[in-house]
Amino acid sequence: MSRYQAALLGLGLLLMFLLYVGLPGPPEQTSQLWRGPNITVLAGLTRGHSQIFYREVLPLQQAHRAEVVFLHGKAFNSHIWEQLGTLQLLSKRGYRAVAIDLPGFGNSAPSQEASTEAGRAKLLKQVLRDLEVQNAVLVSPSLSGSYALPFLMRSHHQLRGFVPIAPTSTRNYTKEQFWAVKTPTLIMFGELDHTLARESLQQLHHLPNHSVVKLYKAGHACYLHSPEAFHHALLEFLDHLP
């Protein structure tokens, strides 16, 4: 082997080593990521039994106006709510905003419990307890409906508000079951969503206290296509909760 080849091999090995150590390790138990003059960002695994990854932006004030918990669709994880600036915006407006990775997504391990309807409701309940969230507003797009709807049907008295965004699983429940849920609800969907928008709206409009916001020129992931209109509608809803 020439000196040149040896140098090349050494360089290759060094590169591999750097790539290896550069990979993210398992998330730490509640690490404070950064703290600006007006903002604190936390991320880590929930402390209790649930062991779910969350990211959270705390408002400057000690007393927040409400707690808002974000779930996510199949193509996403909790990062999307930081990327869109949603968590930061809400914290600026005085809300405690938390996003979680559902089991098997992002930094959360898969969970056996998540395979049944009752298990998913229980898991979400545990996550909220472990995050010390009392009366959350739950934001649930798409796939996350398989968690949010079982939870809503069993524990809606724990929710201060519900924001379904073309969620799955709405067909699993009857008109009468929806009627019984008095939680203030903001139904949002994209004008161009031809997958779940219509089906979920048909079911969700049986919730007695709801309003509907259609985001124009937006598809299934309407918050991604039209973040400004999404944020505007969400804040309007949050600001008027009793």
Ligand X SMILES: *[C@@H]1O[C@H](CO)[C@@H](O)[C@H](O)[C@H]1NC(C)=O
Amino acid at residue number 99: A
142 annotated active-site: yes
Backbone angles phi, psi at 10, to 5 degrees: -60, -45
For ligand X, the closer of residues 29 and 38 by Cβ is 38
CA distance 44 to 186: 29
CA distance 7 to 13: 10
Smallest distance, ligand X to C-beta of residue 131, A: 23
For ligand X, the closer of residues 107 and 146 by Cβ is 146
For ligand X, the closer of residues 42 and 192 by Cβ is 42
- Single out the residue of 15, 209, 216, 217 in contact with ligand X (rule: CB under 6 A): 209
Tokens encoding 159: 């929710």
Element (H, E) at 15: helix 3-22
166 exposure class (CB count in 10 Å sphere: 0-12, 13-18, 19+): buried
- Single out the residue of 8, 16, 75, 241 in contact with ligand X (rule: CB under 6 A): 241
Over the window 172 to 191, marking each residue x when it contacts ligand X by CB under 6 A and - when it does not, the resulting string is x---------x-x-------
- Single out the residue of 146, 158, 170, 226 in contact with ligand X (rule: CB under 6 A): 146
Q: Which residues contact 103 (CB under 8 A, 6 or more apart)?
A: 52, 109, 110, 111, 113, 114, 123
Q: Are 104 and 73 in contact (CB under 8 A)?
A: no
220 annotated active-site: yes
CA distance 164 to 139: 6
CA distance 185 to 102: 22
For ligand X, the closer of residues 91 and 107 by Cβ is 91
231 annotated active-site: no
Count of residues engaged in binding ligand X, rule: CB under 6 A = 14
Q: Which of residues 79-138 bind ligand X (CB under 6 A)?
A: 117
Instruction: Give me the catalytic one of 193, 200, 210, 226.
Output: 193
Smallest distance, ligand X to C-beta of residue 189, A: 17
For ligand X, the closer of residues 45 and 152 by Cβ is 152
- Single out the residue of 37, 62, 63, 112 in contact with ligand X (rule: CB under 6 A): 37
Which residues of this chain interact with ligand X, rule CB under 6 A? 36-38, 117, 146, 150, 169, 172, 182, 184, 209, 240-242
Which residues are designated catalytic?
A: 142, 193, 220
